Amino acid sequence: MSFRFEEVMLHVRTATRETHYRAVFAPGLNIIEAPNSWGKSTLVQSLVYGLGLEGAFSASHLSPLGEAMSSVIDLSDQREAVVESSVTLTLLNDHGTHLRSRRYARSLAYESSLVQTWAADSLDALSGAEERDFYVREPGAASHELGFHRLLEDFIGLELPTVPGFNGDEVKLYLEVLLPLFYVEQKYGWAGLAPRVPTHYRIRSPYRRAAEYVLGLRNLERLKETDRLRAKLAGLQEEWATTGRDLNAVLVRQGWSLAHPLDEAVASGERGLPEIGILRESQFIDAADEIGRMRSEAQAMLGAPPPTAGVRTAIAQHELRETEVEAGRLAGRLRLHREAAARAAADVDVLRSRQRDLESDRARLVDVRKLERLGSEIGAASLEDAHCPTCAQDLDAQQVATGLVLDVSANLTLLAAEKATLDRMTSSAQRDVAMAEGAADSLAAQLGELRARIRSLKDELSGPSGAPSVAEIERRIVLGERARVGEIELAQAHEHLERMQRAAVSMARVRDRLQLLRSEAESGADAQTVDRLRSRFVAALRRFGLRSLPVGEITIGSESLLPEHDGFELTFDIRHGLSASDAIRTKWAYYVALTRTVNEIDGAKPLGVLIMDEPRQQEAEMTSVRALYQELAAAAAGSQVIVASSAPAHELDDLLSGLPAHRLPGGGTHMFSAD
């Protein structure tokens, strides 16, 4: 699962002539040696251009190649305009397949997005191979059948995963994102400490995803699984909430309530689902029993003609009095429940307000900690002088006899404990609100019925005595209809409950799985791989002679996978006290360690190449550079290493003494001048 360069040919045609430069690479360590302005960087960039990977360094579609390949070329006797130029690469993969690709940088006939290819089992057979054309630097280049990067991915033997992108979508981990981990270009590549991975591919944490992939860390799979589970959990929570609203609507319509509050833990637990019923006189009456009673009563009434109002006068008067008393009593209870709900809602408001205060306090403390990490000593200095950082007054030694105060981290821990308490209380108060409102809604529905009954009884008592009893007829109609609708709605409510139960059980499983993923993250083979990378990195730093910081203080962070000092990532613009030459040594060490580690670890996915353009920066000492070449030679045991250097031949003779290196000396003043 890797590839190497066999050959590169740069071809330029002007109005009067054609010229080309051809370099043949060997497996292992290759040194392109030539003086400044010879075109080493153009040669190295042409490797990237030929692969269509210049997007790794810029989103621009302009050619990254020098002017000799794109506009004008200085030939031996005169300067001429470039009419056509191309880069032809020959690659070899682990299966012994040779792939030749040609991409034009300038041409009247071909767009630079076109890549012509030929594949064969031997170099000789390439010339007779069938041409197949692909496209690159266009949408679909990495995924479509005619995309060159899809071909390249298959040729190298990579299976690039999709990774979390911005906006919660999944994005392919493009080859362009991997390349900066194995290629340091001269112009900007040595400027920072961390690889400059492109950010325009909408990948979240692109460096970390790329490093995880090439190191074969399981974290990437865990991350994807975590994202998938979180999305599933969000869907289930939405289903729970929607179904809960539907259920509540049925309960309110019918004046029913649940025998006990329903939350996710209850629904997924052994206790099972709550019964549905009516709260009457503090007694919980099952809704099905109540419907059955109504139905029986309605049927019994149907058997006899309705009595006249006159016959029922005494009964109706008594019933009216009883109903009015009952309505008054219910109204009182309803008010109490509404008050209880309002009190609980006020509790929720107060608790939320307190949570907001805590959160703003926490945010301030986090900022203070950030300042401390950046080296701020304001707080510490103030305390040392017994000076209060809050009120800016001198502290009375007696009041702070010990001189100890809670540091920022301890304070954050204390706030977290307080927040946990408030979270629980808020949750409990919210349930109280729901219960009180549920009970109030149920009472309100009962009260509505009683008021309707009172109206009917009053109508009956004030009407003609020979007329059929209005209250009785209405009672028959209402009872029958309520029983019918009640049965339908009860069935619906049970369906909602069961749906909520299924959602709750699924949510519990998803949460368990997420917990398991979190615990897996802290153990296993990933940690060993990172340890290997770390030890290779530290050993290389030691060999390169890091001076401005103790070697033991620099490491590779388990989370960032980047060089860190004092828990702080050494990224593009942060050197944390490293001298310029030590920054270069750190960079060498990082690239060498990464390449050697991916070569050594089972399950890692090496690209197969490491390219460094002019690694001797900042006039690094010869002993350090010698150690670098030794490390590169070791890395070249598993990957092809290509280094461009302007060091004089005698210096390279010394540096490479005893090392297996393939040297490509550039003749003349420019790569095209000898032709």
Residue number, 83 or 412, with CB nearest to other proteins: 412
Instruction: Report, in Å, the least distance between residue 322 CB and other proteins.
Output: 34
Q: CB-based contacts of 246: which residues, under 8 Å, 6+ apart?
A: 496
Distances (CA, A) of 416 to 18, 64, 358, 419, 420: 72, 52, 9, 5, 6
Residue number, 167 or 402, with CB nearest to other proteins: 402
Residue number, 296 or 413, with CB nearest to other proteins: 413
Residue number, 383 or 461, with CB nearest to other proteins: 383
Residue number, 110 or 284, with CB nearest to other proteins: 284
Residue number, 440 or 583, with CB nearest to other proteins: 440
Instruction: Report, in Å, the least distance between residue 337 CB and other proteins.
Output: 16
Instruction: Report, in Å, the least distance between residue 476 CB and other proteins.
Output: 41
Longest dimension (CA), the chain: 130
Instruction: Report, in Å, the least distance between residue 4 CB and other proteins.
Output: 52
Q: Which amino acid makes up residue 364? A: R
Instruction: Report, in Å, the least distance between residue 213 CB and other proteins.
Output: 35
Distances (CA, A) of 297 to 138, 438, 448, 477: 77, 27, 20, 11
Residue number, 522 or 573, with CB nearest to other proteins: 522
CA 468, CA 301: separation in Å to the nearest integer?
14
- For residue 3, list its beta bridge partners: 93
Q: Is 104 helix (H, G, I), strand (E, B) or coil?
A: strand
Count other Cβ atoms within 10 Å, centred on residue 99.
21
Instruction: Report, in Å, the least distance between residue 352 CB and other proteins.
Output: 13
Residue number, 122 or 413, with CB nearest to other proteins: 413
CA 161, CA 184: separation in Å to the nearest integer?
24
Residue number, 260 or 542, with CB nearest to other proteins: 260
Contact assessment for residue 171 and residue 201, using Cβ atoms and an 8 Å cutoff: yes
| Helical ranges in 34-104 per DSSP H | 40-50, 67-70
Instruction: Report, in Å, the least distance between residue 428 CB and other proteins.
Output: 5
Residue number, 407 or 449, with CB nearest to other proteins: 407
Instruction: Report, in Å, the least distance between residue 235 CB and other proteins.
Output: 22
Instruction: Report, in Å, the least distance between residue 429 CB and other proteins.
Output: 9
CA 173, CA 223: separation in Å to the nearest integer?
14
Instruction: Report, in Å, the least distance between residue 320 CB and other proteins.
Output: 39
Residue number, 259 or 302, with CB nearest to other proteins: 259
Instruction: Report, in Å, the least distance between residue 413 CB and other proteins.
Output: 5
Q: Which amino acid makes up residue 341? A: A
Own/partner long-range contacts of 241-247 (Cβ < 8 Å, ≥24 apart): 243/496, 243/499, 243/500, 243/503, 244/496, 244/500, 246/496, 247/493, 247/496, 247/497, 247/500
Q: Residue 606: which H helix or E strand, with range?
A: none
Residue number, 380 or 485, with CB nearest to other proteins: 380
Residue 475, phi then psi, degrees to nearest 5: -60, -40
- Provide the terminal-to-terminal Cα distance of the chain, rounded to the nearest Å: 37
Count other Cβ atoms within 10 Å, centred on residue 629.
24
Residue number, 259 or 488, with CB nearest to other proteins: 259
Residue number, 433 or 610, with CB nearest to other proteins: 433
Contact assessment for residue 436 and residue 275, using Cβ atoms and an 8 Å cutoff: no
- Could you list the residues that contact other proteins (CB under 8 A)? 260-261, 263, 265-266, 269, 354, 400-402, 404-406, 410-411, 413-418, 420-422, 424-425, 427-428, 431-432
β-pairing, 640-645 with 609-613? Answer: parallel
Instruction: Report, in Å, the least distance between residue 278 CB and other proteins.
Output: 20
Q: Which amino acid makes up residue 13? A: R
Give the number of C-alpha atoms closer than 13 A to the C-alpha of residue 156, restricted to the C-beta side.
22
Contact assessment for residue 442 and residue 279, using Cβ atoms and an 8 Å cutoff: yes
Count other Cβ atoms within 10 Å, centred on residue 532.
19
Radius of gyration for the alpha carbons in the chain, expressed in angstroms and rounded: 39
Strand order in the sheet with 257-258: 257-258, 276-280, 283-286
Instruction: Report, in Å, the least distance between residue 269 CB and other proteins.
Output: 7
Quote the DSSP letter at residue 275. P
* Angle in degrees, CA 260, 263, 267, rounded to 5: 85
Instruction: Report, in Å, the least distance between residue 234 CB and other proteins.
Output: 19
Residue number, 133 or 394, with CB nearest to other proteins: 394
CA 360, CA 414: separation in Å to the nearest integer?
14
Instruction: Report, in Å, the least distance between residue 553 CB and other proteins.
Output: 25
Distances (CA, A) of 159 to 156, 175, 219, 281, 594: 9, 11, 16, 68, 20
